Amino acid sequence: MEHIVFLDSNTLIADLRLPKFAHQWESYPATSPGEVASRLNDATIAITNKVALRREILDGLPKLGMIAVAATGTDHIDLACCKERGIVVSNIRNYSVHTVPEHVFMMLLALRRNLFAFHGDIRGGEWQKAKQFCLFTHPVMDLYGSTLGIVGHGAIGRAVEGVARAFGMQVLVAEHKGVAGVRPGYTPFHEVLERSDAITLHLPLNDATRNMIGEAEFKRMKQSALLINTARGGLVEEKALRDALLSGRIAGAGFDVLSKEPPSEGNPLLEIDLPNFILTPHIAWSGRSAMQTLADQLIDNIEAFVAGHPVNRVA
């Protein structure tokens, strides 16, 4: 009988159906690093959203046959160790192709139209004492006709592209950074930085993408450009972003992710109190319908593994 342990069930708000096969189910709202080994000691299947499973833990879990990741990203899982030990790792695919693009465009619209700056003016009494019916204290820019650079063209990136074209935006899809050849339909990475009015990131965090945007990249961007990141905090050098915002090197940014979450020990981006910087607490993925789709697919992945034909494998 399978022994399934969900290490961080509080990260998912959904009606989670239980698997149809015979099993023992254990669920913990959260699990600290020091509790992982004991809680998975007898587990054959582990469910984790963000609890890290590294080699030092995995080597002590001989019964573990599967890790069901309750997310798309797997940078917190030692995939190399899992392959060595024959542990199947399955993740969730394409569940957030509507909710994340909506979050992206919420940020883009708010920043392009200076929503928070105008809100601040009203709270400060500027409109109330104006001598005409409207305020022109900040520029209002349209999305229509502007250029959006998309870095990462998977399911979410393609969904963002569809919304952008519906707004009448021009779209540039970035080729991988640093590669010599450019695929048809793609634009060199440096050219996307230089030509885009806004850039949005939709790619995983790994050794090739970590800190892919830093001081040098900000210098290539238009001074009127926006940067949106709803993917992973480690894709952008956070101090460089803070400096770019405070110096006016770029026009604004919208981030849903930080390099360490929660930012209990502080973060350079928490120091910013500007109307042209939006920070949300890693919620772009969490639309209720999206989380239900995630929950359903999570159990589908587990049932497929037990049936002998794993799906959505990353290891």
Predicted local distance difference test score (pLDDT) of residue 59: 97
Query: Which residues are designated catalytic?
Result: 232, 261, 282
Beta-sheet pairing, 170-173 with 198-201: unpaired
Cα(259)–Cα(232) distance, integer angstroms? 7
Per the listing, tokens 């593994």 go with 305
Per the listing, tokens 């910087």 go with 277
CATH of domain 99-279: 3.40.50.720
Predicted local distance difference test score (pLDDT) of residue 223: 98
> Of all helices (H) and strands (E), which one includes residue 219?
helix 215-220
pLDDT tens-digit readout, 79-135: 999 999 999 999 999 999 999 999 999 999 999 999 999 999 999 999 999 999 999
Q: Is the peptide bond before 262 cis (omega within 30 degrees of 0)?
A: yes
Structural Rg of the chain based on CA atoms: 22
Structural fold of domain 2-94+289-306: Rossmann fold (3.40.50)
Distance (Å) of CA 48 to CA 5, 52, 97, 298 = 9, 8, 21, 10
Sequence-distant (6+) residues with CB within 8 A of 47 are: 4, 5, 6, 7, 9, 67, 68, 69, 70, 298, 302
pTM over 0.75: yes
Cα(154)–Cα(97) distance, integer angstroms? 10
Predicted local distance difference test score (pLDDT) of residue 37: 97
Predicted local distance difference test score (pLDDT) of residue 186: 98
Domain residue ranges in the chain:
2-94+289-306, 99-279
Closest CA to 70 of 22, 23, 135, 4: 4
Predicted local distance difference test score (pLDDT) of residue 61: 97
Predicted local distance difference test score (pLDDT) of residue 236: 98
Closest CA to 294 of 47, 30, 22: 47
Predicted local distance difference test score (pLDDT) of residue 184: 97
**Looking at residue 17, what DSSP letter applies?**
P
Write out residues in the chain with pLDDT < 50, as ranges: none
Cα(238)–Cα(174) distance, integer angstroms? 21
Cα(28)–Cα(9) distance, integer angstroms? 6
Predicted local distance difference test score (pLDDT) of residue 192: 98
Closest CA to 255 of 42, 73, 108: 108
One fold for 2-94+289-306 and 99-279:
yes
